[in-house]
Amino acid sequence: MKKIAVVGATGLVGRTILKSLYEEGVAFDELYLFSSRKSAGQKVMFGEIEYTVSELTSESFDNLDIDVTLMSAGSETSKKFAKDILKGSRYLIDNSSAFRKDPSIPLVVPEVNFDSIAKLDSQIIANPNCSTIQLVIPLYFMNKLAPIEKIIVTALQSVSGSGIKAVEELKEQSVCSLNGKKVKPEVYSDPIAFNLIPRIGDIGTSGYCEEEIKIMSETNKILATDISICATTVRVPVFYCHSESVYIEFSEKVEKEEIIDLFNKTDSINYYKDEDYPMPINFSGRSDVYVGRLRNDMSNSKKAYKFWIVADNLKRGAATNAVRIAKKLLD
Ligand SMILES: NC(=O)c1ccc[n+]([C@@H]2O[C@H](COP(=O)([O-])OP(=O)(O)OC[C@H]3O[C@@H](n4cnc5c(N)ncnc54)[C@H](OP(=O)(O)O)[C@@H]3O)[C@@H](O)[C@H]2O)c1
């Protein structure tokens, strides 16, 4: 009998995990859903069956014997409840940043490093940051053509990356701005409608903000590399899907056609030809990574390339990644 639990089932990622479990055809016999006290008692449909969400407490997992728990309830909740969950769950796949830096815990993108779970023999598996996931998928395959030596990435991140309240904030501010009214920002430090906020998380003494540090450290951990990476993260007034402008330098010359051929052969990547390009408005609810605008850096011809990546942060950048890990663990 296969049993799955979803913690944070009422949140943006949690709800998307339920969709992904269905779409990815994960077979299970029992499903348990948890939230904070605020949403406990809410009814959630999965296929034809209605489930009731329960409050997560330190006793919730006692005697449950769950195979895989998928958690997306913020890093403080993950840190607080992980041990209690593991008393009644074989694996915990965590979407927060709570365990990502821990060298004893695998940080997994299933297409890239699923084997790190067995190597580290860990019950906790960290799901990477949404911007990191969509970045490492093309980089992992490109790094096979020739070692990558340098990456410069600018991530333009949608508001759904900050949860349900941020989506509401952008909607409200957009309507109010068009009607000439001002609304005080709550989720963000600055207005997000019709604006760009050039930091995500606090800016540290290094001059980098928290999200930039996550992309830089997580990319090398997943790829098991020591590539020089420089990231810039910007919050943009887009509801769903993150976009990234990427510059990479290989250690040796690589033909553009080799890269295109590689993208076309890779299942998780959809490549757009030169005159066409992916945009965030088109890919909400999709589980692939969309790549376009591939071009040589004219000053460093054939060793350096620029390209553009779009993916749904809730799907590919969170839920589908976690669900694909769960599916492989349950097989
Ligand atoms: N949004 C993204 O694109 C994205 C991508 C990757 C990773 N993540 C990470 O995933 C996590 C959730 O993000 P989200 O966007 O889904 O946020 P969200 O929409 O605000 O949802 C938060 C969820 O966590 C639950 N929760 C909060 N405190 C809890 C507690 N003490 N015990 C049990 N459940 C609790 C909430 O339940 P209530 O309904 O009861 O409040 C809700 O279900 C965060 O760690 C985030 O960093 C998000």
Task: Quick: pLDDT tens for 189-219.
Answer: 999 999 999 999 999 999 999 999 999 999 9
Average pLDDT over the chain, rounded to whole? Answer: 96
- Predicted confidence at residue 274, as pLDDT, reads 79
Please count the helices (runs of H) and the strands (runs of E) in the chain. 9, 14
- The answer to whether residue 242 is catalytic is yes
The answer, yes or no, to whether residue 69 has pLDDT greater than 90, is yes
Q: Does the C-beta of 215 come closer than 6 Å to ligand 1?
A: no
> Hey, what are 233's tokens?
């993260």
- Please state the rounded mean pLDDT for residues 37-61: 96
Ligand 1 atom nearest to 35, measured from its CA: 34
Mutational test site, ligand 1, from 35, 42, 100, 287, max ligand atoms within 8 Å of CB: 35
For ligand 1, atom 29: residue with the closest CA: 36
- Please state the rounded mean pLDDT for residues 151-157: 98
The answer, yes or no, to whether residue 80 has pLDDT greater than 90, is yes
- Predicted confidence at residue 318, as pLDDT, reads 98
Q: How confident is the model at residue 114 (pLDDT cuts 50, 70, 90)?
A: very high
Distance 49 CA to ligand 1 centre (A): 23
Domain boundaries, the chain: 3-128+318-330, 132-313
Q: Does the C-beta of 128 come closer than 6 Å to ligand 1?
A: no
- Please state the rounded mean pLDDT for residues 310-318: 98
The answer, yes or no, to whether residue 183 has pLDDT greater than 90, is no
Q: If DSSP codes are grouped into helix, strand and coil, which group holds residue 249?
A: strand
Distance 2 CA to ligand 1 centre (A): 24
For ligand 1, atom 17: residue with the closest CA: 163
The answer, yes or no, to whether residue 145 has pLDDT greater than 90, is yes
Q: What is the dihedral of CA 289, 155, 217, 262, to 10 degrees?
A: 30
Q: Does the C-beta of 164 come closer than 6 Å to ligand 1?
A: yes
* % of the chain surpassing 90 pLDDT: 94
The CATH architecture one would assign to domain 3-128+318-330 is 3-Layer(aba) Sandwich (3.40)
Q: Does the C-beta of 320 come closer than 6 Å to ligand 1?
A: no
- Predicted confidence at residue 182, as pLDDT, reads 84
Ligand 1 atom nearest to 8, measured from its CA: 43
- Predicted confidence at residue 306, as pLDDT, reads 97
Which residues in 166-253 belong to E strands, given as ranges? 228-235, 242-250
d(CA 177, CA 16) in angstroms, rounded, equals: 30
The answer, yes or no, to whether residue 47 has pLDDT greater than 90, is no
The answer, yes or no, to whether residue 33 has pLDDT greater than 90, is yes
Q: How confident is the model at residue 313 (pLDDT cuts 50, 70, 90)?
A: very high
The Cα angle at residue 187 between residues 182 and 189, in degrees rounded to 5 = 70
Please provide the DSSP assignment of 37-93 as one string.
GGGTT-EEEETTEEEE-EE--TTTTTTT-EEEEEE-S-HHHHHHHHHHHHTSEEEEE
Distance 69 CA to ligand 1 centre (A): 14
- Please state the rounded mean pLDDT for residues 296-316: 94
In terms of CATH, what superfamily is 132-313? Dihydrodipicolinate Reductase; domain 2 (3.30.360.10)
- Please state the rounded mean pLDDT for residues 96-112: 97
Indicate the pairing of strand 289-296 with strand 304-311. antiparallel
Ligand 1 atom nearest to 9, measured from its CA: 43
Q: Does the C-beta of 160 come closer than 6 Å to ligand 1?
A: yes
Q: Does the C-beta of 148 come closer than 6 Å to ligand 1?
A: no
Q: How confident is the model at residue 180 (pLDDT cuts 50, 70, 90)?
A: confident
Nearest Cα to Cα of residue 283 among 265, 307, 309: 309
- Predicted confidence at residue 287, as pLDDT, reads 95
Q: Does the C-beta of 42 come closer than 6 Å to ligand 1?
A: no
CA-to-CA dists, residue 97 to 84, 93, 102, 113, 308, angstroms: 18, 12, 10, 18, 25
Q: Does the C-beta of 75 come closer than 6 Å to ligand 1?
A: yes
Tell which phi-psi region holds residue 121, choosing left (phi > 0), alpha (psi between -120 and 50) or beta.
Answer: left
For ligand 1, atom 45: residue with the closest CA: 74
For 246-304, how does the pLDDT look when each residue is reduced to its tens digit (9 = 90+)? 999 999 999 999 999 999 999 999 999 978 999 999 999 999 999 999 999 998 888 99
